[in-house]
Structure formats: C-alpha cells, structure tokens
Amino acid sequence: RHELLSDLEARCEGLDAGVKAILEEAKRPGSNLGGIRGLVADLIDVDIQHAAAVESILGDRVQAIVVHTASDARAAMGFLREQHKGRAMFLPLDRIASQPASSSAPSLPRARDQVRAPADASAVVDALLGNAYLVDDLDAAGAAASRTERCVFATPRGETAPVSYTHLRAHE
C-alpha cells in the first residue's frame, strides 16, 4: 500500500489540488518554496499486514505535507492563496510535539510501533499515531475504547473505532 501511495504521488494522481500544486512548485527550478520535506505517505514505511490499519488511522493526514519550519508552511500557504490553487495541510517539524500517551493506555500493540520513518520525521509519526492501537476486530475495539480515553483503535481491515465507539469508519 505504501508503494501504491508513493506511486500515486509520483504521478500526482489522487492528490488534493493544493497538495499537488505545492509538490509541483517545490520541484520547479527556481522555486521560492523551501523546506518541503514531503508527504506523510512518502515518509513512512509500513508492513503490508498493518498498512490498512495505519492508512485508516491517518485518514486525510496521509496527504499532509511535512515541512521543516512553520515559516516554510506559511510560505507554502501564501503560494496557494496567491495562485488560487486550493488548500493543503502542513506539519512543520519545528512545531510538532509527540502525542502524550493516554493515562489509560491499553496493553495492545501500538500502531506507531509498526511504522518506520526517517529520524527527522519520527515526531510526526509519534504525533499522528501516538494514541492509536491495533486490535483484531471491532468487538475488541469497542471493549478497549470503553476502558480508555483519547485513543483510536484499528483492525487489520482498516476499520477504526475512536474513543466513543459511536462513530465507526470502515475501509475496504
């Protein structure tokens, strides 16, 4: 799945218009956009057995653009605004804080532990997946959700259950 996402990015298919515009502009010789590190999808590597779960947990954030600084993000947002190219989500490395572990963290496998990323992007992965856990099925997700706070649970099929268990997201 990661290879599929990377391939889509390489062809810029399936990306939001703003994301596509930033990636194209950043590659253009003489571009004023600096500090573009890449998409979350490009910075992570996940084994196939956990790919659907991690993709489901990340949701739209898989298209978030990681930048070195908040200033880089502001410059990219200015470009989008000036060129009327749409919107994009930015994750500045100098502002990312790891997600603190839930006070009632379950004794389940953490999604974060199934993801590999370059050292400079580990804080992004921690922030996005720090309170996400892997479960076998939605029944296990519901049981775990009832005993914890601020956690998300995902199955190998990509079904997710947040804390409330009243809102479920299923992926094929």
pLDDT digit string (tens) for 37-94? Answer: 999 999 999 999 999 999 999 999 999 999 999 999 999 999 999 999 999 999 999 9
Mean pLDDT value across residues 13-23: 90
- pLDDT, residue 96, reads 87
Give the Cα separation of 47 and 90 in Å (integer): 25
Torsion angles phi and psi, residue 141, rounded to 5: -65, -45
- pLDDT, residue 85, reads 95
Pairing mode, if any, of strands 36-39 and 65-67?
antiparallel
Classify the C-alpha dihedral 69-71-74-75 as positive or negative.
negative
Structure tokens at 7: 């391939």
Give the Cα separation of 90 and 73 in Å (integer): 6
Mean pLDDT value across residues 126-148: 88
Question: Cβ distance 45 to 3 under 8 Å?
Answer: no
* Per-residue pLDDT band at 170 (split at 50, 70, 90): very low
- pLDDT, residue 37, reads 94
Beta-carbon contacts of 52 under 8 Å, excluding residues fewer than 6 positions away, are: 1, 154, 156, 157, 158, 171
Whole-number percent of the chain with pLDDT over 90:
64
Helices (runs of H) and strands (runs of E) counted in the chain: 7, 8
